[in-house]
Structure 1
Amino acid sequence: MTLQASLSLLTEDQLPEVLALQQRIIAVLEEPDFLQPLTEEEFVYILRGNGMMAGAFVDNHLIAFRAMLDPGEDEEHLGIDAGVSLNELSSVLYSEISGVDPDYRGHGLQTTLGKWLMEHVERDRYRYICTTVAPFNIPSLKDKFALGLRIKELKVKYGNKLRYILFKDLQEPSRGTTSEQQFVLMENTEQQKKLLKEGWNGEYIEKKDDLWFVKYVK
């Protein structure tokens, strides 16, 4: 059955609903490390114009949210990791936290909100989308690939956490056929790092014989 949800940009007035939903999501997380919750101050920062945030509603009840953040002068700027030139870092938006009410999982709301936000990005202000995903966070990786992001880097971020850096250039035309491709075991960190340094990008994941592989293209 198709879920009929309405989508709209969120405002600071809806912050209590967002915080309550985040707490509900955290309470049932199987892998707490996969979600980096935002503080009330961080949500306020986004809702006051430093990014954008969308919500999905059923009967005027918030069932999902997704945020994009203008990182400003981030000490660990993902744009640098993705190869964006220093004079263009102000054109970078981060694909930030997303959350779906546990009762409404399975309807693709995370990706639906992601695509909706992509369509509403101020293209004259922002050109690049960056984000991080933990290896083996399969739902999040699938979501990012569905939005057209590609793996550009694999490195330790935020102290000691291994993360994929994913990236999308909103001005780049859709990728055509690629001349080379290869699949690498997701657990083979060193081989992936080597390919990324050689200019390969990760664009897809696939499960074979209970093992996850990343498709790299060049």
Structure 2
Amino acid sequence: MSATIAIDKLHNGQTFYVRYLSINDLPLIMQLQEKVKHALSSPATLEPLSEEEFKIILSGHQLMIGVFLEERMIAFRAMLEPEIDNEHLGIDAGLPPEELPKVLYSEISNVDPEYRGNGLQTYMGKLLMERLDKKRFQYVCATVAPFNIPSLKDKLLLGMKIVALKEKYSGKLRYVLMNSLSETDKDSCKDKITISMNDSNAQQKCLKSGFQGSSIKQKNNDWYVVFSK
């Protein structure tokens, strides 16, 4: 078992610990993923991974962590060093070919439904970001379905920006987000445009003109993306 990398408390005062996961944790990972999947009101918002895909992640170097209450895993989060192919998110983000080996994916994050509301998803994301080898990796990319508000909020809190909106995963519309780890956020801007999340065409035009999605907000029961450059 790997060493503990963090100890903290849930809102109810229970102490949890965080450690890197290994192939030995695969049964716990699959069990938690299945529980999360069945609890979702819209299962299509989750892109579940197969055992083989988890094995690939777990064979990497400390790219997956789990949150535990004693021996019970209540959350996990993974990053992945992806293969370079035509579907690479770095291409969608506009990176040149020589930068693609420096990209990691924020791959999957699951939190036991009983322990939602404790900020564990973003907590794990920050832990992983802090521990990345920034000499080797310069970018973190992810995809999120429009209207998957918790996941969008999580990625934006981790410093990612929406850089594309396009069909991925056999035709499913997805935001592509990227965090450039070497850049400091300059929020002294800038031109800002607010567009309804329902208006895919307007968002795509905005992104193609050099804007990036920097935040989301709700107004009159509709969600909007704030784009800036």
Q: When the two structures are superposed, what TM-score results if normalisation uses the length of structure 2?
A: 0.92
- Alignment deviations for residues 73-110 of structure 1 (CA, whole Å, 9 cap, x no partner): 23300000001110111100000111001111111111
The answer to whether the 8 A contact 2:21-2:62 is kept is no
Distance in 1, Cα, partners of 2:61 & 2:168: 22
Q: Does 1:145 pair with 2:159? A: no
> Per the alignment, do residues 158 and 51 of structure 1 end up closer, same or farther by CA in structure 2, a change over 3 Å counting?
farther
The match for 1:174 among 185, 208, 212 is 185
Task: Select which of 56, 69, 89 maps to 2:100.
Answer: 89
Higher relative contact order (CA 8 A, sep 6+): 1
Matched residue SS, 2:98: helix
Cα deviation, residue 184, structure 1: 0.5
Q: Does 1:120 align with 2:140?
A: no
Q: 2:228 aligns to what? A: 217
Shift of 1:27: 1.5
Tell me which amino acid in the other structure corresponds to 1:47: L
User: Deviation at 1:51?
Assistant: 6.7
Q: Which amino acid aligns with 1:94?
A: Y
Q: 1:34-60: CA deviations, max 9, x gaps? A: 111111111010111167101111123
Taking every aligned residue pair, what percent have the same amino acid on both sides?
47
Out of 6, 24, 27, the residue aligned to residue 16 of structure 1 is: 27
Counterpart of 1:193? 204
Secondary structure class of the residue paired with 2:27: helix
Structure 2: runs of 5 or more not aligned:
1-10
RMSD: 1.2
Task: Determine which of 91, 98, 109 is the counterpart of 1:80.
Answer: 91
Say if 2:156 and 2:215, in contact at 8 Å, map to a contact too: yes
Query: SS in structure 2 opposite 1:27?
Result: helix
Q: What is the CA–CA distance in structure 1 between the aligned matches of 2:85 and 2:43, rounded to whole Å? A: 24
Q: Distance in 1 between matches of 2:54 and 2:207?
A: 33
Contact 2:20 2:62 in 1 (8 A): no
Q: 1:193 to 1:51 in 2, by over 3 A?
A: farther
List gaps (5 residues or longer) in structure 1.
none
| TM-score (structure 1 length as normaliser) | 0.96
Task: Specify the SS of the correspondent of 2:124.
Answer: helix
Match of 1:157 among 159, 165, 168: 168
Partner of 2:66: 55
- Secondary structure (helix, strand or coil) at the match of 2:48 reads coil
Q: Distance in 1 between matches of 2:105 and 2:27?
A: 23
Aligned residues: 218
Q: Matched residues in 1 for 2:15 and 2:186: separation?
A: 32
Q: Distance in 2 between matches of 1:115 and 1:211?
A: 29
Structure 2 match to 1:133: 144
